[in-house]
Structure 1
Amino acid sequence: MAGMSIAVCLPGSAAKRVDEAVAEAMAPFASDGVGSVERDVWDSYRICASLGLPVLAGHEGDPRLIADRPRWDGSLEPALPGECAGGPRGLIDFRDALRAEAADHAGRVWDRWQEVVSRHLAPDDESVFFYRHLAAGGTRDSYGTSREAADYRAQPAVRAWVDIAPELARPDIADHFSFGWDPVGIGQRSREEYAATYAFSLLPPRNVLTVSGWWYELGDAPLHGACHGPLECVHEPDFGMEHEGVQSYLLALPAETLLVNVHCHV
């Protein structure tokens, strides 16, 4: 058996009955045949601040924050400074300023790449050269020093980007902006999609149980708590399975919506 955490989203009206509201939201996903969905998810859980939700700076003492619940032996699990077991969405830190800076910088990166491509032949993605290398009998380990890798780097647009990228490097925002990867992918998305991807990349991936009862666990199709299984479910999911969809959902929640970090034994 293993453990996982999920952010349970509750209406703000549940603030005075958090434990009961979490239990009601979690019940359909219980194991041992108790829950209503066909895939058993958890056999025990606890509202927990460890690996929990980051508190918005300056609000660490707000009484609306949700406290860690004791373990079976009555002890509390140590939480990192600035983390809580939950609270109103408006008190949770979604790194708004840094995300805005990342989106703005990603937009500039996208614009510069378009300038490069406009002056050169459109380059092929590095995957073209990698699979050409494999087809010639090479291996993944030998690709980096292969003729195919050199051919990829010799493309005029890629060579030009090598000179430009240091001016745009911002590893202080995100590792992505160190540019140690194939730049061709920059232009494979719209400016808006590229900017959003690297704004959302600053937020950790989370499992989420939505207000309307959808269980989103990383890597699995969402489950609706009112339905036994996906074949009979007639409900429209709140969003897709992508990291961006989860984060967009959390960011769009009203400020009074409660987010509760629940650690499950699964």
Structure 2
Amino acid sequence: MGKQRITVCLPPVGPDGLKQAIGRAMSPFWYDREDRPHPDWVGEWSHWFVSGAGCLFDVLPGHEDDPRLVRYDDWTDDGPGDLPPSRCHGGPRGILDLDAPRAAEARRAGDTWTAYRAFADRFPPALPFHHFAERARTPEPGEAAVAAFRAQPLIRAIEADPALEERFTSDPVLHFDEDRDAYVARRVAAVLPTPALLTPDGRWVEGGGPDYERMFNACLDALPGDAMVVRVLYHA
């Protein structure tokens, strides 16, 4: 049992009917629904809240005062004054700026990839940790595999600087093992998705990885401008 966030996609609805619309969309997945599809059916949630903390949407410039924007957070009791005008928990798809955070991440990821390559070129080529773990040929690689991995000059240099380790990760060869465009695209695709998505046709989709992220982004991009998109926190 724990809390998780889902992005809920809804037909056009005004502020007064938003919570009722979310409730209708979420109701087929309630743990305690009486008309269960089959005896072994298990629901997804016990209660939910409108909440976007940590995964806020950007507002398209010029639409900051639109009354349809969702700026309250049921989980933290934050009111509109706690959010800058440029951020929200949801609203009509057409006035949410989905491209701004993607563009910002593309710039950041591109800079990180370039910086890593420039730094790594100063050292002999390194190998990812799984290379040493596989050579150990045991379920638990053990201290020898860890020591061999960490003995590489590139890894030693990164581990010696906490700022570098935070930026490049503790297994950088694996993390950056793709060309710049592929790395940037992967990072950009992960900006908007929450762990679950409730699609406009009523499908509850959970997942991770590239396929889920592509589906999530494609779903939001294809929504009509007046469709509502809201971040929801649910207890599972």
Same fold (TM over 0.5): yes
The corresponding residue for 2:183 is 194
- C-alpha change, 1:204 and 1:24, in structure 2 (3 Å) is closer
Deviations 1:54-103 (A, max 9, x none): 342664432121353868xxxx8125523534201243354143123135
Contact persistence 2:128–2:149 (CA under 8 A):
no
Which ranges of structure 2 fall in alignment gaps of 5 or more residues? none
For 1:1-266, list aligned pairs within 5 A. 2-11=2-11, 13-15=12-14, 17-34=17-34, 36=36, 38-48=41-51, 53-56=56-59, 59-68=63-72, 77-78=77-78, 80-82=82-84, 83-94=87-98, 95-102=101-108, 104-105=110-111, 108=114, 124-132=127-135, 139-140=142-143, 146-147=147-148, 149-150=150-151, 153=152, 178-185=167-174, 188-189=177-178, 191-203=180-192, 205-218=194-207, 240=211, 242-266=212-236
User: Whole-Å Cα distance in 1 between the matches of residues 52 and 148 of structure 2?
Assistant: 52
Contact persistence 1:5–1:263 (CA under 8 A):
yes
User: Whole-Å Cα distance in 1 between the matches of residues 51 and 167 of structure 2?
Assistant: 35
* TM-aligned CA deviation for residue 8 of structure 1: 0.6
Contact persistence 1:28–1:34 (CA under 8 A):
no
Q: Identity percentage over the alignment?
A: 27
- SS of residue paired to 1:8: strand
Which ranges of structure 1 fall in alignment gaps of 5 or more residues? 164-170, 220-238
1:250 alignment partner AA: L
1:41 alignment partner AA: E
User: Whole-Å Cα distance in 2 between the matches of residues 253 and 205 of structure 1?
Assistant: 17
Of structures 1 and 2, the larger Rg is shown by: 1
- SS of residue paired to 2:13: helix
User: Whole-Å Cα distance in 2 between the matches of residues 33 and 49 of structure 1?
Assistant: 26
Deviations 1:177-230 (A, max 9, x none): 8224434336644554322122234456442211122212357xxxxxxxxxxx
User: Whole-Å Cα distance in 2 between the matches of residues 254 and 183 of structure 1?
Assistant: 40
- C-alpha change, 1:143 and 1:251, in structure 2 (3 Å) is farther
The CA RMSD over aligned residues, in Å, is 4.3
Contact persistence 1:4–1:264 (CA under 8 A):
yes
1:3 alignment partner AA: K
User: Whole-Å Cα distance in 1 between the matches of residues 78 and 44 of structure 2?
Assistant: 25
User: Whole-Å Cα distance in 1 between the matches of residues 231 and 148 of structure 2?
Assistant: 50
Q: What TM-score do you get using the length of structure 1 for normalisation?
A: 0.59
Contact persistence 1:7–1:262 (CA under 8 A):
yes
Contact persistence 1:87–1:258 (CA under 8 A):
yes
Across the two proteins, how many residue pairs are aligned to each other?
216
User: Whole-Å Cα distance in 1 between the matches of residues 202 and 111 of structure 2?
Assistant: 36
Contact persistence 2:106–2:187 (CA under 8 A):
no
User: Whole-Å Cα distance in 1 between the matches of residues 195 and 226 of structure 2?
Assistant: 20
